[in-house]
Amino acid sequence: MRTRIVVLGGAGFLGSHLCDRLVGDRHEVVCVDNLSTGSPTNIEHLLGAADFTFVEADVALPLEIAGRVDAVLHLASPASPADYLRLPLETLRAGSLGTFHGLELALRKDARFVLASTSEVYGDPTEHPQPESYWGNVNPVGPRSCYDEAKRFAEAATTAYRGALGGNTCIVRIFNTYGPRMRPGDGRAIPNFIHQALRGEPLTVAGDGRQTRSFCYVDDLVDGLVRAVHGTTAGPVNLGNPVETTIIELAELVRRITGTASGIAFVPRPQDDPYVRRPDISRARAEFGWQPGVDLEAGLAATVAWVEQSLARAAVPAGAPDRPTTPRGGELR
C-alpha cells in the first residue's frame, strides 16, 4: 500500500538511506531535519522527486505536518559519541521533547510511530548477548548519559503514549550500524578507521581493542525499520547483526581491505565505553521475519569504495569532465 511517511532525522546517515528505500518502494516521504549532524548532500538526489519533501525543523519544537500521515519514524538525534558529547543538551531535547512531538504528530494523524532507540539502553551490559528483556546497566551521570538516558526516556514516553492514549507505536533498539554516508568526522570506529587507513595514518584503537561490537550494514538495518513500519508489534525489538567482533579485529579487517601501510595506535578507552555488545535477534526474526544478510567484510568493502569515491569527487573541481558522479551508496561486491 502506498503511504505517506514522515522521517524525523531523515538527512542523517541512517535516515537518508531510509528515505531512499521508502521513495524506492513508492511511498511519499516527508523528511524533517535540523541538519545538526546530518547533511543536505545525503538527500540532494531526492530533492527533485515528486514524492519527497524536505522540511528543515528542530523536533524539539512543536511539529506540524499538513495533510495525511500514515507513519512517523523518529531518528532525529545525534548518534555518534563524539556528537552527543559535543551536543548533550540538544541530545536530551531530541530524545525527550522530540519524542513527545513525534508521538503527538502520530496520534493526531492516527499514524504508526516507530522510535529508533539504541543498544545503548543496555549500557555496559552484564547480560550477554542482550535480549530485549534485559534492563541494562547505564551510568545516569556519566558522559554517555545524555544519549543513553534520553533514549531510555524516549522508550518510556513511547510506552506511556501507547498505554494511556492507545498510540500505535513500536520501539526498535538499533545496534551499531555502518555504511556509506557516515561523515569523515563522525568519530565512530568504522569511519575513523577507514579515513585513517586511506590517509596512511595509524588506526586509533581504544584500550587493548578487545572490547566487542556487532556491526550491521545499513541496508539490512533499513530493511528492519521498514518491517517495523508495516508491522503491528509494540516491541522493543533489537535490530542488529549478531556477529560479534573485537575492535582490534575490525581495525585489522579495515587494514586488509584498504591495503594500507598504516599501523595501529592504541589510545585510551573512553569512560563508560561498553565492553561487549551483541544483539539477541530472536524477536526480530519472529516478529518481522528479519535477519541481516550482509557480512562485515562485504559491507566494509562497499563502505570503503564509497569513501574512496567521495574523496575522489571532492578532489576534482565541479564541472570537470572526469568528475565522478554523486556517490549514492556503495555497491556490495
Task: Indicate which of ligand NAD, ligand UDP, none lies near residue 75 (CB less than 5 to 8 Å, by partner kind).
Answer: ligand NAD
130 binds ligand NAD (CB under 6 A): no
Chain centre distance of CA 33: 14
Residues that bind ligand UDP (rule: CB under 6 A) add up to a total of 14
Cis peptide before 131 (omega within 30 of 0): no
- Cα–Cα nearest to 155, from 189, 108, 119, 184: 119
- Cα–Cα nearest to 189, from 122, 302, 292, 273: 273
224 binds ligand NAD (CB under 6 A): no
Cα angle for residues 135, 139, 140 (degrees, 5° grid): 95
- Strand duo 264-267 + 203-206: pairing: parallel
81 binds ligand UDP (CB under 6 A): yes
CB of 269 to ligand UDP, least distance (A): 6
Sole binder of ligand NAD in the list 5, 6, 11, 190 (CB under 6 A) = 11
Residue pair 19/29 in contact by the 8 Å Cβ criterion: yes
Sole binder of ligand NAD in the list 3, 99, 118, 212 (CB under 6 A) = 118
Task: Indicate which of ligand NAD, ligand UDP, none lies near residue 198 (CB less than 5 to 8 Å, by partner kind).
Answer: none
Task: Indicate which of ligand NAD, ligand UDP, none lies near residue 118 (CB less than 5 to 8 Å, by partner kind).
Answer: ligand NAD
Please return the burial class of 202, using the count of CB atoms within 10 Å of its CB with bins 0-12, 13-18 and 19+.
Answer: middle
Positions 168 through 227 that interact with ligand UDP (CB under 6 A): 176, 188-189, 192, 204-206, 211, 213
Task: Indicate which of ligand NAD, ligand UDP, none lies near residue 235 (CB less than 5 to 8 Å, by partner kind).
Answer: none
21 binds ligand UDP (CB under 6 A): no
Cis peptide before 129 (omega within 30 of 0): yes
Question: Locate cell 528505500: which residue?
Answer: 21
CB of 180 to ligand NAD, least distance (A): 12
Task: Indicate which of ligand UDP, ligand NAD, none lies near residue 78 (CB less than 5 to 8 Å, by partner kind).
Answer: ligand NAD
Compute CA distances 51 → 6, 32, 67, whole Å: 12, 14, 14
Task: Indicate which of ligand NAD, ligand UDP, none lies near residue 103 (CB less than 5 to 8 Å, by partner kind).
Answer: none
60 binds ligand NAD (CB under 6 A): yes
Catalytic site residue 147?
A: yes
CB of 173 to ligand NAD, least distance (A): 8
Sole binder of ligand NAD in the list 20, 22, 30, 37 (CB under 6 A) = 37
Closest to ligand UDP by CB, 32 or 115: 115
Gap between the Cα atoms of 155 and 96, Å rounded: 10
Query: Of 122, 147, 161, 217, which is the active-site residue?
Result: 147
Gap between the Cα atoms of 155 and 65, Å rounded: 23
- Cα–Cα nearest to 74, from 44, 31, 110, 132: 31
Catalog residues that contact ligand UDP under the rule CB under 6 A: 81, 176, 188-189, 192, 204-206, 211, 213, 247, 269-270, 273
- Residues known to be catalytic: 147
